[in-house]
């Protein structure tokens, strides 16, 4: 059976999704949790497909689609809860969830986007409506607090 050729713009979109989807999904799951984050990523990619003619003009598609995903999932306002993931994504450090929850929300958002989702400081800054230097400082402070809570809590002052 001969495989049907996709129209060129759909093939281009497929390549776009392969490049953008993993980072977008991780960022939204990190922010909203597994179920809501996946739904938000799917909604953002559906929007992107409908508006694929506009995609080449977008400077930072991951950040832009992150905002689309936020908007599309706004119906169910929930507080972001850092739950222990299911078996396929285990926590390396058992105290990490508690230590993350203890961080101020701006520091927690910055550290999760940069170290959890793999965004650059400037990409995270665009999502958080902050300056890149501000995000960098929040990440540095969050790392200091996490180290102090996890290492200090397990081994005393070290």
- 83 band by pLDDT with thresholds 50, 70 and 90: low
Query: Does residue 61 sit in the same domain as residue 100?
Result: no
pLDDT for the residue 148: 92
Q: Residue 98 sits in a domain of what CATH number? A: 1.10.10.10
The mean pLDDT value of the chain amounts to: 81
pLDDT for the residue 156: 47
For the chain, the domain total comes to: 2
* Residue at 29 is within a domain: yes
Half-sphere exposure for 23 (CA within 13 Å, toward CB)? 20
Contact between residue 75 and residue 114 where contact means Cβ atoms under 8 Å apart: no
pLDDT above 60 for 75: no
To 5 degrees, how large is the angle CA 53–CA 30–CA 136? 90
Q: 34-50 b/e with 16+ CB inside 10 Å = b?
A: eebbebbbbbbbebbee
Which one has a higher pLDDT value, 87 or 48?
48
Of 80, 112, 127, which one is at a domain's C-terminal end?
Answer: 80
pLDDT above 80 for 89: no
- 9 band by pLDDT with thresholds 50, 70 and 90: low
pTM score: 0.46
pLDDT for the residue 97: 81
DSSP string, 51-79: TTTTGGG-S-HHHHHHHHHHHHTTTS---
């Amino acid at each position: 059976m001969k495989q049907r050729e996709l129209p060129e713009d759909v093939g281009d979109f497929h390549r776009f999704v392969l490049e953008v989807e993993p980072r977008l999904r991780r960022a939204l799951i990190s922010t909203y949790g597994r179920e809501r984050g996946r739904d938000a990523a799917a909604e953002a990619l559906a929007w992107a497909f409908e508006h694929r003619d506009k995609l080449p003009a977008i400077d930072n598609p991951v950040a832009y689609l992150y905002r689309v995903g936020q908007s599309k999932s706004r119906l169910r306002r929930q507080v972001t809860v850092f739950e222990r993931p299911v078996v396929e994504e285990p926590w390396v450090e058992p105290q990490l969830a508690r230590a993350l929850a203890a961080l101020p929300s701006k520091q927690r958002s910055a550290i999760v986007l940069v170290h959890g989702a793999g965004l650059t400081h400037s990409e995270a800054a665009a999502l958080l409506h902050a300056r890149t230097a501000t995000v960098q400082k929040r990440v540095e402070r969050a790392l200091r607090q996490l180290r102090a809570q996890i290492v200090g809590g397990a081994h005393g002052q070290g």
